């Protein structure tokens, strides 16, 4: 079905693996298209409660964009490349109502780090290296990197990382707040799945509302508090709310219908 990615679904978790090991899983046009399609399938699948994105092999999550595809682009083509990529993949991931965890194994550079930052949060293996090297090629991050990196690590650190085009290791990423956890390569997916299982105990409808509310505070001209009030109110009309509150009052485990 896919050329550059593999997917599997097990016990509420959809795993999406970028699988171009010979290119260190670099993002080309086709891979972005396939990721969009796989994410859409997972978002529409009622059995998928959490999505985990990772890279194949031990060396790379995604080592960047496939530069050979756009080295001869014009100004207009460059702008279109960034706009289309953000719409199809990076903004799409950030705004999914299904939680997306990036399990960063090895290099996450350029578009790879931008993909990880678009996920709702990140965990990393101890061999991970992260950076936005675009200025060393005479260009800037175009898939949301200049916006999401400062939101995650602060303006000063983001400016330094972008201007130096340097890489940081997993422990520095943890210290910066860029990743939530660092573990061994062997334990990376098991840890992602353990966190996913904790998420799955809760109401998927409420989680979707929480994602929308948190994201609202990072949108220009949107009052995040107002969005929170609306989403909070909407929760009262859901079957999950009725089940969650009944279960609490009856001192039993909630069985959320996801509606």
Is 243 catalytic? The answer is no
Assess whether 239 carries a catalytic annotation: no
Catalytic residue among 114, 186, 243, 255, which?
A: 114
What's the pLDDT tens digit per position in 134-144? 999 999 999 99
Closest CA to 113 of 155, 148, 68, 159: 148
Mean pLDDT lowest among 31-40, 68-77, 108-117: 68-77
Mean pLDDT for the chain overall = 96
pLDDT of residue 83: 95
pLDDT computed for residue 219 by the predictor: 85
- Per-residue pLDDT tens over the stretch 188-247: 999 999 999 999 999 999 999 999 999 999 888 889 999 999 999 999 999 999 999 999
Tokens read off for 12: 């509420």
- What is the tens place of the pLDDT at every residue in 45-60? 999 999 999 999 999 9
pLDDT the model gives residue 69 = 87
Indicate the DSSP class of residue 70.
Answer: T
pLDDT of residue 257 exceeding 90: yes
- Among residues 30, 58, 87, 134, the one annotated as catalytic is 134
β 167-169/129-131 pair status: antiparallel
pLDDT tens figures, 73-100? 999 999 999 999 999 999 999 999 999 9
Burial 166-205 (b: 16+ CB within 10 A, else e): ebbebebbbebebbebbbeeeebbebbbebbeebbebbbb
Phi-psi region of 175 (alpha: psi -120 to 50; beta: other; left: phi over 0): alpha
């Amino acid at each position: 079905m896919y050329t550059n990615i593999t997917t599997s679904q097990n016990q509420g978790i959809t795993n999406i693996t970028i699988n171009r090991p010979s290119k260190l899983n670099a993002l080309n046009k086709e891979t972005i298209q396939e990721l969009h399609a796989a994410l859409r399938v997972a978002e529409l699948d009622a059995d998928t409660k959490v999505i985990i994105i990772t890279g194949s092999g031990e060396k790379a999550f995604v080592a960047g964009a496939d530069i050979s595809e756009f080295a001869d682009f014009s100004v207009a083509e460059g702008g279109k490349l960034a706009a289309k990529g953000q719409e199809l993949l990076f903004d799409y991931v950030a705004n999914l109502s299904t939680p997306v965890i990036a399990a960063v194994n090895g290099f996450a550079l350029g578009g790879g780090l931008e993909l990880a930052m678009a996920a709702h949060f990140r965990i990393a293996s101890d061999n991970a290296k992260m950076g936005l090297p675009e200025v060393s090629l005479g260009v800037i991050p175009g898939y949301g990197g200049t916006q999401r990196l400062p939101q995650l690590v602060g303006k000063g650190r983001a400016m330094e990382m972008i201007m130096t085009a340097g890489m940081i290791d997993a422990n520095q990423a943890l210290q910066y707040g860029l990743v939530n956890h660092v573990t061994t390569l062997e334990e990376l997916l098991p840890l992602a799945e353990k966190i996913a299982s904790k998420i799955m105990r809760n109401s998927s409808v409420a989680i979707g509302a929480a994602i929308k509310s948190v994201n609202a505070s990072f949108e220009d001209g949107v009052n995040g508090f107002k969005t929170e009030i609306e989403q909070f109110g909407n929760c009262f009309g859901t079957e999950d709310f009725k089940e969650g509150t009944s279960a609490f009052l009856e001192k039993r485990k909630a069985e959320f219908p996801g509606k």
